[in-house]
Amino acid sequence: MVAAPGQRVLQHLLWAEELLNYSDVACRREFEREFVAYWNQRAIAKKKRPDVFSLSKPGGESREVVYYIDRVNGRIVLADSKAELVGWLRNSGSNPSDREVLPTWLLRLSRPWTPKDYPEFGRDVLSQLPEAILRRVLAPGQACPLVFEARTPTGPAFAAVLLHGAAERELVKGFRGMAKVPMSRILASFSGRAVQRCPVARVDGPWVHGRGHDDDYPAIRSKSVVLIGCGALGGSLAKLLAQAGVGTFLLIDPDDLTPANVARHALGMRSVGENKAQAMAQMLRRDFPHITAVTPHAKRFQWLAAREFEAMAKADLIISAGIDFDGDAKVDAWRRELETPPPHLCTWTEAHAIVGHAVLLYGTQSLIAGFDESERPLFRLTDWPDDGKALVVEAGCGNLFQPHGAIDLQPTVVLAARLAIDVLLGRVPTSCRRVWQGDLAAVALNGGSATPDFSASNVVREAAWY
């Protein structure tokens, strides 16, 4: 129901009256609960400040952290360690030198500041730093970011300031080089200048994946997935698993992206001409720079080197996505010969992507057991006489393609991704298969016929493996 204008005005006046009559205790409680919101309101104008990104994990004591000033992208990135910072930056396309990674300080506040506590000048925060850290973090002519963590009633929150001091040429006057300038002179040059208050955007994995409330993320991040086939199905699956938090990928595909691929591929036109595995690896690193590792192999599965097969054998899950029957058979035979085979998830669609399959195999159970002599799955839900409209010849060329789009493919991507996450979290104890049954009427419309098991539209079903 929509309230009348007079009623809405009255309600806002009542809220304002309530706020104006808060006690000092209630005001402080409000400022602490909404620490980030009030801090951001008092921050300097966006056009006058860099973005501040933090990889630092909440909790723990006040401590030394590291940062990099990324002038190209107008941002400062902070992290708990140099290795974590450099890894994130390189994934996102920056390549800092050792001398560009600098130390600073993360100050853990005993309680969130209220606006009257916010630092105005350098001295308001420098007095809270250990004396031994001052010379390490204050560099003449270099803006110094300091980050603060506060524990609020709804969880940890971060804020930052930028400190500015005198240029080196000013400080060195009367002294034989910077080494001779006393710390008190350097400190004084930062102490009297106004600070720049900056919002902090957290970019650490636990925050990106669920704002710190995804209990599954630590387990997912530690898992490794091999993905064989980075086409329309595999590429979308890789991105979805990265969005779910999977930390390590090994991507395998020998093919390059063509313009005809882009309408239903996770990659776009800017990647045309590039190998799909390599382009997907670059996309995952740049879109999710907190990811642990992504390794591409631009070749067929059977052409991998011995050391590459060894790496695959140690993965937590092997996925073959939308590759041909011969490729799946080779993966199946190799995996079953291993002493401790990783689980294998094989996913594909039937014609027009009306039906999608995801088969999960543990131990030495064979994928081929579910196929007949014509290399067709025993559990297929559609048949297409003479391929019907299932395959179309590309104009002016002998190439064949399946005429379905990205939207048609998405239910199968989600089906496979959900099964993959369930496997990685130990929720599926035995081999099984899941199937997406789309629009039953679309089968006949496209010249096919449905089997008796295809009796309902838009459902997911699960069955035991053979």
> Of 3.40.1350.10, 3.40.50.720, 3.10.28.10, 3.30.420.40, which CATH number belongs to 217-464?
3.40.50.720
pLDDT band at 174 (very low <50, low <70, confident <90, very high): confident
* Cα–Cα distance measured from residue 293 to residue 91, given in angstroms and rounded to the nearest whole number: 9
Q: What is the pLDDT of residue 20?
A: 85
400 DSSP β-pair partners = 393
What is the residue extent of each domain of the chain? 34-203, 217-464
Kindly report, residue by residue over 30-64, the tens digit of the pLDDT. 999 999 999 999 999 988 899 999 999 999 899 99
Q: What is the pLDDT of residue 24?
A: 87
The mean pLDDT value for 392-416 works out to: 80
* Cα–Cα distance measured from residue 251 to residue 243, given in angstroms and rounded to the nearest whole number: 16
Length of the chain: 466
Kindly report, residue by residue over 264-323, the tens digit of the pLDDT. 999 999 999 999 999 999 999 999 999 999 999 999 999 999 999 999 999 999 999 999
Q: Give me the amino acid identity at 69.
A: I
pLDDT band at 437 (very low <50, low <70, confident <90, very high): very high
Note whether 446 and 385 are within 8 A (CB).
no
The mean pLDDT value for 315-340 works out to: 96
Kindly report, residue by residue over 349-364, the tens digit of the pLDDT. 999 999 999 999 999 9
How many CB atoms are located within 10 Å of the residue 329 CB? Answer: 15
* Cα–Cα distance measured from residue 64 to residue 228, given in angstroms and rounded to the nearest whole number: 42
Kindly report, residue by residue over 3-38, the tens digit of the pLDDT. 788 899 999 998 888 888 889 899 899 999 999 999
* Cα–Cα distance measured from residue 273 to residue 257, given in angstroms and rounded to the nearest whole number: 5
Q: Whole-structure pTM over 0.75, yes or no?
A: yes
Of all residues in the chain, the percent with pLDDT exceeding 70 is 97
DSSP character at residue 195? P
Q: What is the pLDDT of residue 361?
A: 98
Alpha helices in 194-313 (DSSP H): 205-208, 217-221, 232-244, 276-287, 306-313
3-state secondary structure of 211: coil
pLDDT band at 405 (very low <50, low <70, confident <90, very high): confident
Q: What is the pLDDT of residue 2?
A: 73
Tell me the CA distances in angstroms from 369 to 333, 375, 376, one per residue in order.
12, 10, 11
- pLDDT at residue 404 is higher than 90: no
Give the start-end residues of each E strand in 71-192. Answer: 75-79, 102-108, 144-152, 155-163
Kindly report, residue by residue over 230-256, the tens digit of the pLDDT. 999 999 999 999 999 999 999 999 999
3-state secondary structure of 54: strand
Kindly report, residue by residue over 74-122, the tens digit of the pLDDT. 999 999 999 999 999 999 999 999 999 999 999 999 999 999 999 999 9
